[in-house]
Amino acid sequence: MTSTPSIRRVCLSVLLAGLLVSAMSAQAQPLTIATEGSYEPWNLTLPGGALGGFEPELMTDLCKRMGTECKLVVQNWDGMIAGLNAGKYDVIMDAIVITPERKKVVNFTVPYASTPATFISSKDAPLLPAEHTLIKLHDDEKAIQAAIAPLRAALKGKTIGIASGTVYTPFIDKYFKDIADIREYTASSDAILDLQAGRIDAVFDDVTFAQSMLGRKENSNLTFSGPQLGGPIWGEGEAMGVRMADSDLKAKLDTAIKAALADGTVKKLSEKWFKTDVTP
């Protein structure tokens, strides 16, 4: 039996309406961003369960620029990249440093920050005097060895705490595992708790995180130890990650980040949360 023109028009209208509803439904889905919620001051969980910090506030600004509804969810760092690629969320944002290894499995946006790292120790058993000088490290092995020689001497026979899976973990393993015991933690905050309890002698982490921890009353017995180590050795900087196939989403985020850098928004939020400018 052959359909009449009117029936075909009705069927076509129904089909187009269905496609329009599906498209509108897809557009209504919020962009889901995973963060740790415990890496102060980059991201933290506020009383009542809401997320705050440098990155959640920056993400709110970026989503407004993109005209996109966004939803922040909490995810432990050690499963964040796997969760992204499994489709649990659309974006990961957790002070994630771009590295060649991570670029093999994650499509990174342009960086929105670049920060050095340092050691933290107890004031009762300081390793080295705190230095606010920044030593920029490249892939020059002799320069690296010279820069860390005093640190290796101070940490010989000690126990160093480090968050697992960070850009700093392989550095600590490579240059300190032969002279110190390395203890890995799921979260940087857990390493600080063990340092407080005297179970480890030092923690190596991002300077901005360290500043936040040392600013707390309960951590008044902790101190910076040695110089700040930064530069290309840590990669291109901190950026958001999306799945390899989501090139359109990356492009939208790149445009929004560049605009937020250009008009000073990133600098303003950086100075609010870090008391310093970490723009790349």
Both structure tokens of 255 = 């445009």
Average pLDDT (118-131) is 89
Q: Tell me how far apart the alpha carbons of residues 147 and 227 are, in angstroms, rounded to a whole number.
A: 9
Higher pLDDT, 243 or 115: 243
At position 231, the amino acid (one-letter code) is G
Both structure tokens of 45 = 């969980």
Residue 172 has pLDDT above 90, yes or no: yes
Residue 10 has pLDDT above 70, yes or no: no
- Nearest alpha-carbon partner for 206 in 256, 138, 276: 276
Residue 22 has pLDDT above 50, yes or no: no
Residue 26 has pLDDT above 50, yes or no: no
**Paired strand residues for 54:** none
Give the model's pLDDT for residue 278.
Answer: 86
Average pLDDT (78-106) is 94
Each residue's pLDDT tens digit, 195-210? 999 999 999 998 988 9
Each residue's pLDDT tens digit, 214-229? 989 999 999 999 999 9
pLDDT-based confidence at residue 28 (cuts at 50, 70, 90):
low
Give the model's pLDDT for residue 167.
Answer: 87
Give the model's pLDDT for residue 138.
Answer: 86
Residue 59 has pLDDT above 60, yes or no: yes
Residue with tokens 């203890």: 183
Q: State how far the alpha carbon of 104 is from the alpha carbons of 99, 107, 169, 251, in Å.
A: 9, 8, 18, 18
- Is the CB of residue 117 less than 8 Å from the CB of residue 228? yes
| 276 CB-near residues (< 8 Å, 6+ apart) | 208, 270
In SS3 terms, the chain reads as: CCCCHHHHHHHHHHHHHHHHHHHHHHHHCCEEEEECCEECCCEEECCCCCEECHHHHHHHHHHHHHCCCEEEEECCHHHHHHHHHCCCCCEECCCCECCCCHHHCCEECCCCECCCEEEEEECCCCCCCEEEEEEECCCCHHHHHHHHHHHHHHHCCCEEEEECCCCCHHHHHHHHCCCCEEEEECCHHHHHHHHHCCCCCEEEEEHHHHHHHHCCHHHCCEEEEEEEEECHHHCCCECCEECCCCHHHHHHHHHHHHHHHHCCHHHHHHHHHHCCCCCC
Give the model's pLDDT for residue 136.
Answer: 86
| 98 CB-near residues (< 8 Å, 6+ apart) | 108, 111, 235, 236, 237, 238, 239
Residue with tokens 């050795």: 233
pLDDT-based confidence at residue 125 (cuts at 50, 70, 90):
confident
Average pLDDT (210-215) is 89
Residue 156 has pLDDT above 50, yes or no: yes
Give the model's pLDDT for residue 75.
Answer: 95
Residue 60 has pLDDT above 80, yes or no: yes
Mean per-residue pLDDT over the chain, rounded? 89
- pTM beyond 0.75: the answer is no
Residue 14 has pLDDT above 80, yes or no: no
How many residues does this entry show for the chain? 280
Q: Tell me how far apart the alpha carbons of residues 202 and 158 are, in angstroms, rounded to a whole number.
A: 8
Residue 2 has pLDDT above 50, yes or no: no
Residue 38 has pLDDT above 60, yes or no: yes
